[in-house]
C-alpha cells in the first residue's frame, strides 16, 4: 500500500500518526477529510456533472457521524439511512429531509412515522406489507409519500456470500415474480397516499467487476417497459445502489466510479431513446467507496508471543470490537508500524486483538519491521464499517474518532467512558 512517511513516522493528511496516538490515545480511528472530499469530487466530475437528472446518496451505514454528514451535505449529496438511529443522526446534523432516502428490510411503525414527520424524500419499500403500512401512516398525517420498490434482480456477483444481496434467496428486496411484484406495483399506483416512482436494487458489496450492475440495470429497464405496457404508467426514478470495490490490500484492484456509472448510464440513455421514454432520475448509493480508504485505525502493540516454528502473535489494544470484519467474513487488511514506517520488513507476525475470541485476528502473516511492545500499528482502509460496527464486547470501550485536514486534527467522536458502557444498566428491586 502506498503511504506517506516523514522522519520514520506514518503521515495521514499532513498529520504525524505517532503524535495523534500520543495526543488522543489508542485505539484511535483517523479519517482524512481531504481523501473523503477527493472521492466526492470524483463522483461529481464523472457522474453528477456529466449526466442530467442524476444524484448521489451516501450510504450512511458505512460511517454515520454528525461531522461526516456535514461533509456529505456540503458536497451537495443526498443521504441513505436504514434505521431510526441513522435518521436521528441526520436530523441532528440538520440534513435536509427531502434529500434523505430511507431503506431497510423491516422498518418499524415508529421509524416510518419518524421518517414522515421529518419529511424524508424517499422511502424504499422492501417488504410486501410496507405499502399499506406507509399509506396508513400517510393518510393519518395527510401526506403523500414518494416510494420505490427494492427488487432482487437475481444476478450473480463476485464477492463474499455474506455481502451479496442481489440474489433471489435474500432477505432484501421483492422478487421479480409475476404473482408477487406486479400486484404490489398495481397496489402502489392505486393508493393515493403513495407516489410510486420506480425501482431500487443493490446487487452486493466490494465489487470490482461491473457486469452484475449492468445485468441488473437491464432487468430494471425491462421492468420499466413492462410497467408502461401493463399499467400505462411512467417510471420516474431508478436507484442502482452501490457496492463499488475499494483497496484493502495490494490484491485489490478498485476501478474508478466511471467504470460503473458510464456503462450504466449508456444503457439507460439508449433505452430511453429507443423506447421514446423520458429519462428517469438515476441515483447511486456509494458508502464504502467514499470513506473506506480515507480511514485508518491506530493500535498500540502490547503482548508478544512467539511459538517457535509456528507463529508470532503481536497483540493490539483493540481488535474485533473496533473492526469486526475479519472475524465476521474473513476480510483481509494490511498495515504498517506507524512509528517505524520507513524501516524494512524483518519478520512475519500475526496481529491479534484482545477480545476473548480465537477469531479476533486482525492480520495474519504480515511482514513488518522487528515488532516491540509499545509500537504503533496502523491498519489501512478501516474508514467503512469500523466505527459503525464497533461493539462493547468484553466491555471494551468504543474508540475515539479524529478527523484530519491538511495537518489539523480534531475529535469528531469522543472516546466512550467506562461509565457510559454501563449507563443504561439497572439492578431490579428484588436483587437489592
What digits encode the pLDDT tens for the residues 177-211? 888 999 999 999 999 999 999 999 999 899 999 99
Q: Which residues pair with 400 in a beta bridge?
A: 28
Q: Is the pLDDT of residue 379 over 60?
A: yes
Site of grid cell 512509528: 339
State residue 155's pLDDT score.
63
Helix axes 181-190, 211-231, angle to 10 degrees: 60
40 is catalytic: no
Q: Are 346 and 385 in contact (CB under 8 A)?
A: no
Q: Which of 15, 40, 272, 356 is catalytic?
A: 356
Cα–Cα distance, 296 to 26 (Å, whole number): 12
State residue 62's pLDDT score.
98
State residue 159's pLDDT score.
42
State residue 170's pLDDT score.
65
State residue 27's pLDDT score.
98
How confident is the model over 154-169, as a mean pLDDT?
47
Cα–Cα distance, 315 to 302 (Å, whole number): 5
Cα–Cα distance, 323 to 388 (Å, whole number): 9
Q: Is the pLDDT of residue 432 over 80?
A: yes
State residue 169's pLDDT score.
59
- Terminal CA-CA length for the chain: 56
- Does this chain's domain 4-30+292-421 share its CATH topology with 32-288? no
* All three cell numbers of 396: 471494551
Task: Tell me the domain boundaries of the chain.
Answer: 4-30+292-421, 32-288
**Residue pLDDT, tens place only, 24-35:** 999 999 999 999
Q: Are 361 and 325 in contact (CB under 8 A)?
A: no
State residue 392's pLDDT score.
98
Question: Looking at domain 4-30+292-421, does it have CATH number 2.40.37.10?
Answer: yes
State residue 157's pLDDT score.
46
CATH code of 32-288, in short, is: 3.20.20.10
Pairing of β 100-102 and β 78-81: parallel
State residue 153's pLDDT score.
85
**Residue pLDDT, tens place only, 306-348:** 999 899 999 999 999 999 999 998 999 999 999 999 999 999 9
Q: Is the pLDDT of residue 156 over 60?
A: no
Answer with the residue of higher pLDDT: 301 or 168: 301
Amino acid at each position: 500500500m502506498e503511504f506517506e512517511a516523514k522522519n520514520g513516522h506514518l503521515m495521514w493528511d499532513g498529520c504525524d500518526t505517532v503524535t495523534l496516538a500520543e495526543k488522543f490515545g489508542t485505539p484511535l480511528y483517523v479519517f482524512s477529510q481531504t481523501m473523503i472530499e477527493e472521492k466526492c469530487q470524483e463522483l461529481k466530475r464523472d457522474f453528477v456533472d456529466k449526466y442530467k437528472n442524476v444524484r448521489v446518496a451516501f450510504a450512511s451505514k458505512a460511517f454515520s457521524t454528525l461531522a461526516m454528514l456535514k461533509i456529505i451535505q456540503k458536497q451537495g449529496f443526498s443521504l441513505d439511512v436504514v434505521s431510526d438511529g441513522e435518521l436521528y443522526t441526520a436530523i441532528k446534523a440538520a440534513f435536509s429531509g427531502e434529500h434523505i432516502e430511507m431503506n431497510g428490510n423491516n422498518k418499524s411503525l415508529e421509524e416510518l412515522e419518524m421518517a414522515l414527520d421529518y419529511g424524508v424524500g424517499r422511502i424504499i419499500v422492501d417488504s410486501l406489507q410496507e405499502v399499506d403500512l406507509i399509506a396508513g401512516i400517510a393518510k393519518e398525517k395527510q401526506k403523500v409519500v414518494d416510494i420505490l420498490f427494492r427488487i432482487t434482480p437475481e444476478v450473480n456477483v463476485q464477492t463474499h456470500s455474506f455481502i451479496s444481496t442481489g440474489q433471489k434467496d435474500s432477505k432484501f428486496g421483492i422478487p421479480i415474480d409475476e404473482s408477487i411484484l406486479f400486484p404490489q406495483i398495481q397496489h402502489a399506483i392505486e393508493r393515493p397516499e403513495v407516489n410510486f416512482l420506480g425501482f431500487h436494487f443493490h446487487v452486493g458489496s466490494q465489487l470490482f467487476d461491473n457486469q452484475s450492475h449492468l445485468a441488473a440495470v437491464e432487468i430494471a429497464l425491462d421492468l420499466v417497459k413492462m410497467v408502461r405496457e401493463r399499467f400505462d404508467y411512467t417510471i420516474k426514478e431508478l436507484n442502482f445502489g452501490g457496492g463499488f470495490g475499494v483497496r484493502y490490500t495490494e490484491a485489490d484492484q478498485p476501478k474508478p466510479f466511471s467504470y460503473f456509472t458510464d456503462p450504466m448510464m449508456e444503457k439507460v440513455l439508449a433505452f430511453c431513446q429507443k423506447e421514446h421514454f423520458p429519462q428517469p432520475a438515476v441515483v447511486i448509493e456509494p458508502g464504502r467507496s467514499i470513506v473506506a480508504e480515507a480511514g485508518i485505525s491506530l493500535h498500540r502493540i502490547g503482548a508478544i508471543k512467539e511459538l517457535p516454528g509456528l507463529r508470532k502473535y503481536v497483540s493490539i489494544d483493540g481488535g474485533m470490537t473496533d473492526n469486526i470484519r475479519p472475524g465476521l467474513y474473513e476480510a483481509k487488511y494490511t498495515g504498517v508500524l506507524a512509528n517505524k514506517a520507513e524501516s524494512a520488513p524483518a519478520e512475519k507476525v500475526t496481529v491479534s486483538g484482545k477480545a476473548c475470541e480465537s477469531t479476533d485476528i486482525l492480520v495474519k502473516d504480515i511482514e513488518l519491521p522487528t515488532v516491540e511492545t509499545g509500537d504503533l500499528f496502523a491498519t489501512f482502509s478501516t474508514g467503512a464499517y469500523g466505527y459503525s460496527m464497533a461493539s462493547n464486547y468484553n466491555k471494551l470501550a468504543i474508540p475515539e474518532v479524529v478527523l484530519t485536514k491538511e495537518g489539523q486534527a480534531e475529535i469528531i467522536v469522543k472516546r466512550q467512558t467506562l461509565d457510559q458502557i454501563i449507563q443504561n444498566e439497572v439492578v431490579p428491586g428484588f436483587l437489592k
